[in-house]
Amino acid sequence: MATDNKLSMVVFSGDMDKVMAAFIIATGAAASGMDVTMFFTFWGLKAIQKDSSLTGKGLFGRMLGLMNRGGIDTIGPSRFNFGGMGRWMMKTMMRSKNVASLRELRDMAIEMGVKIMPCQMSMDVLEIGTDKMLPQATAPVGVAAFIEEASHSKATMFI
């Protein structure tokens, strides 16, 4: 098993700043000519859902879907959120510095060929249907598919 010129990431976090860091690293690596694979699991799944999709069928699934509703634009940072203030503040600061938004970064990553893998088990537990995922994502996969990618990669990160 040779090492490919590849970078693999587990995107576990649903915090805006961490997801943003993940996409900045992904687009940076893709721009340097690397293959990039992102495996979205747990809270990270929100970043690759279609907009405003309410998810969940059972009571708990619906509760989680409600707390997590909205697409990538409603994700808050890991610090200083203050009920949405932090998100708005960070967005405003980033825009004034000409940094791409989270949505733009994600779309750029997809255009650059970054592979987007949703975690099947997390989708089951959080009751998120395949129809709620971005069409550019691969079919949902198990952890073995990610391990396979990581074992050929030059670098692997858990974010």
The residues of the shown chain that bind a second copy, judged by CB under 8 A, are 1, 3, 5, 7-10, 12, 14, 17-18, 21, 24-25, 28-29, 31-32, 34, 41-43, 58, 60-61, 63-64, 67, 78-80, 89-90, 92-94, 96-97, 99, 121, 124-127, 142-144, 146-148, 150-151, 153-159
Amino acid in the structure at residue 143: V
Smallest distance from a second copy to CB 107, Å: 18
Q: Which of 74, 70, 73, 66 is nearest to 52 (CA)?
A: 70
Amino acid in the structure at residue 38: M
Smallest distance from a second copy to CB 156, Å: 4
Question: DSSP secondary-structure letter at 134?
Answer: -
Nearer to a second copy, 64 or 135 (CB): 64
Q: For residue 67, give every residue at least 6 positions away whose Cβ sits within 8 Å of its Cβ, in sequence order, or none.
A: none
Nearer to a second copy, 111 or 158 (CB): 158
For residue 35, give Cα distances in angstroms to 9, 13, 28, 93, 134.
11, 22, 11, 31, 20
Q: Which of 49, 38, 26 is nearest to 112 (CA)?
A: 26
Nearer to a second copy, 80 or 139 (CB): 80
Nearer to a second copy, 25 or 134 (CB): 25
Smallest distance from a second copy to CB 8, Å: 7
